[in-house]
Amino acid sequence: MAQKKDEKDKKKESTAAKTESKVKEGKVTKKSSTAKKLKEELGEMQDKYVRLYSEFDNYRKRTIKEKLALQKSASQDLIVDLLPVLDDFERAMQVLKEHTSEDDLVSGVELIYNKLFNTLSQKGLEPMNSMGTDFNTDFHEAITNIDAGKKMKGKVVDVIQKGYLLNDKVLRFAKVVVGS
């Protein structure tokens, strides 16, 4: 009987050892599969992080560009409102030069005009030089056509209203007479 007990104990021990080894093997496979899952999750998280960082960087750059563009064009409405005043100054100076012999009056008006024009120029305003150039619909608005000969065909013969650029964008088209 003692022998049978020993055999039964040995069978139990061998069965327990087999079960234990299977459990250990299962744990190892569970550990390796868990490690793989964690590595995949880590890779996904790193990819998400890189993408999110890139999106944020692009957003930051875009907002900086938008701010600069806004600063450049912030004074556009005011400058557009001041263009008729600038035109009136030019007409006043022309009339004063033709009809007044008082040099002090002409120079005073020129001084005020130059201050206004220089201030607007510092903000990015540039007058268009249209006289004698080829007619370009990107910069000019044709008021009428006149016969001007072969030499002036398709060119600006007269400028009715001066055009202006603000930071290399057309602020006001030049109103011109085109030769035909």
Question: By three-state DSSP, how is residue 175 classified?
Answer: strand
What percentage of the chain has pLDDT greater than the value 90? 29
The pLDDT assigned to 100 comes to 75
Residue that has been written with the tokens 């701010």 in this structure: 67
Residues 6+ apart with CB under 8 A from 83: 164, 171, 172
82: closest CA among 117, 128, 122? Answer: 117
The pLDDT assigned to 146 comes to 87
Q: How do strand 174-179 and strand 140-146 relate by DSSP bridges?
A: parallel
Give the tens place of pLDDT for each residue, 129-177. Answer: 888 888 888 899 989 888 877 788 888 888 899 999 988 888 899 999 9
Mean pLDDT, rounded, of the chain: 83
The CA-atom distances, in angstroms, between 2 and each of 6, 9, 10, 11, 50 are: 6, 10, 12, 14, 70
pLDDT interval class at 9 (50, 70, 90): low
Residue that has been written with the tokens 């910069």 in this structure: 139
The pLDDT assigned to 10 comes to 63
Give the tens place of pLDDT for each residue, 76-103. Answer: 888 888 999 999 988 888 888 888 777 8
Q: Does 1 score more than 60 pLDDT?
A: no
